[in-house]
Structure 1
């Protein structure tokens, strides 16, 4: 593994730590000002929009925790598979708090440019999340 690839992995670990510690300033400092975040059919542009999205999730799930399971890196790309846990204690996408705990798997691919997160693609187990929150019934 090259030193730059190792630095890219460390950047993603720092990003996870900043979210877990709810350290908005550190989180923002790790993102490119022009970051692009692809999450399902939604695309957010710019560090403020991406930060607002993350902190909106923290408002809904104040104990939100990211636990990295696998981190792989090659060139300017870093893949992260992680477990996301939390308790639904605030409004989430128009859903009133349920008080339910959840645990889902997610995956992200990050593109790093000049030591900052420049682009992110996220795949979330939305059905698993909504089922655990008792919003939908499992098929």
Structure 2
């Protein structure tokens, strides 16, 4: 697998970064008319900065970059170079960049009539005699699908081998990459995708919980989210009060962490089975520190609605914990 990322004779065929689908391209819009076409979202720009930094930090720097004239592609280029500059400030100035209509949106105004120029460019690549690294091409969904028969997310990179008739060897994409409404309407309606999104949301919830950082809960919890189970006397209705509730554990087990053992999805509910571990270095349930390692299980249930967690039930095995600290 390492060979995929280090060979100079490979081609990285990339779809532009994530865009704002609330604004579509105007009919017959010119490739450089940014005011009347779909452009990258702020989140998409940030993601492509991350992608550039990730590539450069792993010593994956293109020998040259070829990019479509369209604004979203040019923005992708800018963001990638910005990210690479965070790792090595000399990269952008030294990077050979070519903008060509051959990569423009297939069959659009001022676009390529077919993928022949794209195919020929990839097939002819044998590496740059003066620079190490693959060729990076930043094009569009339609062009890439027509050439490779692969459906790619915004910001995704296919790794092609020109020596093997442009065979797709693999792909690179950020964890944040996701189907878009323009080209993946069928996938967005899939229950499998609902499950994947639900699991991702719950995993991020427990990452935030382990970090005990209420800022990390932003975007995960609904405005009226509340949790059951941590207190027999009252329900915690926001992140701050919930974190205060679990101080019972944190005060006596400062390094306590929740590990997910399994996730189960049905309708709009995710059931989590997990294990809590830590060191008993402070008072828990009135029992003084023992210095022992503790481990106990927990079951949690989260109800999802409108893309966020709106209600949670937490059921830790307090009896097992009590037996270990007394």
With normalisation by structure 2, the TM-score equals 0.37
Report if the CA contact (8 A) 1:60-1:92 is conserved. yes
Q: Which residue of 2 aligns with 1:8?
A: 198
Higher relative contact order (CA 8 A, sep 6+): 1
Report if the CA contact (8 A) 1:112-1:119 is conserved. yes
CA shift, 1:35, in A, is 1.9
CA shift, 1:32, in A, is 2.4
Tell me the distance in 2 between the aligned counterparts of 1:59 and 1:27.
21
Report if the CA contact (8 A) 1:81-1:108 is conserved. yes
Q: Which residue of 2 aligns with 1:31?
A: 221
1:64 and 2:262 correspond: no
Q: Which residue of 2 aligns with 1:46?
A: 237
With normalisation by structure 1, the TM-score equals 0.81
Mean Cα deviation higher: 69-78 or 45-54: 45-54
Report if the CA contact (8 A) 2:230-2:246 is conserved. no
Q: Which has the larger radius of gyration?
A: 2
Report if the CA contact (8 A) 2:252-2:283 is conserved. yes
Q: Which runs of 5 or more residues in structure 2 are unaligned?
A: 1-190
Q: Which runs of 5 or more residues in structure 1 are unaligned?
A: 135-139
Report if the CA contact (8 A) 2:282-2:288 is conserved. yes
Report if the CA contact (8 A) 2:230-2:245 is conserved. no
> Matched residue pairs, number?
134
More strand by share: 1
| Aligned-residue RMSD, C-alpha | 2.2
